[in-house]
Amino acid sequence: MKSTAQPCLFLGSVDKPERGDILKLKEKWRYKMIIQSTHVWIDDCLQPAQLEIADGLIQAILPYGEKQPDHDYQDLWILPGFIDIHTHGWNRCEAGKPTLEAMRRWQKHMPEEGVTAFLATTATQSQRQNEQALPVLREAIEAPGEGAEILGINMEGNFISHQFHGAQDLYTIVKPDPEVLLHYQDLAGGHIMTVTCAVEFDEDYAFVKTAAAHHIRVSCGHSGASFDQVKDAVAAGATGITHCGNGMRPFHHRNPGIFGAALNLDELYAEVIGDGIHVHFETAHLIGTMKGADKLILVTDSAECKDDPAAAQYRREGAFRLPDGTLFGSALYVNQGVDNLHRKARLPLVTAIHAATINPARYLGVADRKGSLEAGKDADLVVCDENIQLQAVFCKGVRQA
């Protein structure tokens, strides 16, 4: 992120402030602030406006110039903070093998991508490893740290297909089992928000139904399901598609399968990895065009080795690959992904922005406090230029480093 001065701290003061004054100003900055720009994302378009922020919330949206602003961002864009629902880690911080210290580092990093909220995402691993990880994730969620908010947990493992496992561990895959899921949810303190399932192995859709009854969103993925199997899973309560195009049976015109279902079933949200490597940008265009502005979700599926210098050997052409060439996660930053969806995948700006803001918020059921700039919602903000290069990021009204 480009560093910028913080003129709102010292606006109107020409003398060097005393330490006590700085603390008072910081307090004011933390709890009450007015910012404005000519390009604020309100009602699905960029328009001149002022945001009044206090106590971590957007208190009011005012006409541009209505009050004396603490900071005028002029023609920079002010967008809602980005939400990444599918990220496994960053720089040796790994959701599947977490420590509290690592989770705190990860949270502090996320605003450097414009991310103000995310789901800590586990992959397939042994039951013992899950039993160790979930209570740590619970602790990290329930005692919030600085930076981006961990909204909850996304379990991408272990209920997936051997045939479409991607880079996930083959030997610890299990059949979708509602009892195992509830056991995990108990250990996680109720914080599992989504789970990936190869629904073709879910007998009578008992797993999907149980998850839905416990407010866990089922995302069909790592799967060779037929179109009808996905359709039946949706009828049972499934609502999402895990990284559309990756880890699934490819589309065939006589057998549209899970990919065809992802595109054609309007009720399904579909994740797309916006790096142009996991999914060709023209495929991302197809997925985004079919899902429209309301059902596409940008994800990074970023690996814990993202930004880890020691993992450079696995990084090829902007993504991480096993020695056999299998992709195992992206190195994508979310702000870059938003720009990619708009410019490289040729999707409308509203689709690209919604994919990282209001759509994941609605999918997770947190749109009452996240995902758009509205009075009463968390003051999670991204200030950026027209290429989504970040100038400032605020989490609940607090400017991040």
Q: Which residues are catalytic?
A: 301
Distance of alpha carbon 110 from its chain centroid, rounded?
10
Whole-number Å distance between alpha carbons of 128 and 178: 17
Nearer to Zn ion, 301 or 339 (CB): 301
Q: Which stretch binds Zn ion (CB under 5 A): 45-53, 148-156, 189-197, 199-207?
A: 148-156
Judged by CB under 5 A, the stretch of 192-200, 211-219, 225-233, 293-301 that binds Zn ion is 293-301
**Which tokens is 183 given?**
């056991």
* Number of residues lying near Zn ion (CB under 5 A): 2
271 versus 380: smaller Cβ distance to Zn ion: 271
Out of 156, 304, 308, 339, point to the residue binding Zn ion (CB under 5 A).
156
- CA dist 150 and 137 (Å) reads 9
246 appears as a binding residue in the annotation: yes
Minimum Å gap between C-beta 401 and Zn ion is: 28
Q: Does 149 bind Zn ion (CB under 5 A)?
A: no
CA of 327: how far to CAs of 6, 43, 121, 311, 323, in Å?
A: 40, 37, 17, 14, 10
CA dihedral 136, 176, 241, 276 (to 10 degrees): 70
String of b and e for 156-189 (b: at least 16 CB within 10 Å)?
Answer: bbbbbbeebbbbbeeebbeebbbebbeebbebbb
Residue 296 sits at the vertex; the CA angle it makes with 102 and 303, to the nearest 5 degrees, is 25
Strands (E), 96-246: 115-122, 149-155, 192-197, 217-220, 240-241
Which one of the spans 46-54, 108-116, 149-157, 358-366 is the region binding Zn ion (CB under 5 A)?
A: 149-157
| Residues in 4-63 at the binding interface with Zn ion, rule: CB under 5 A | none
The residue of the chain with the least Cβ separation from Zn ion equals 301
User: Does residue 70 touch Zn ion according to CB under 5 A?
Assistant: no
| 301, 304, 378, 380: which one binds Zn ion (CB under 5 A) | 301
Residues that bind Zn ion (CB under 5 A): 156, 301
Provide the annotated binding site: 156, 167, 222, 243, 246-247, 254, 278, 327-329
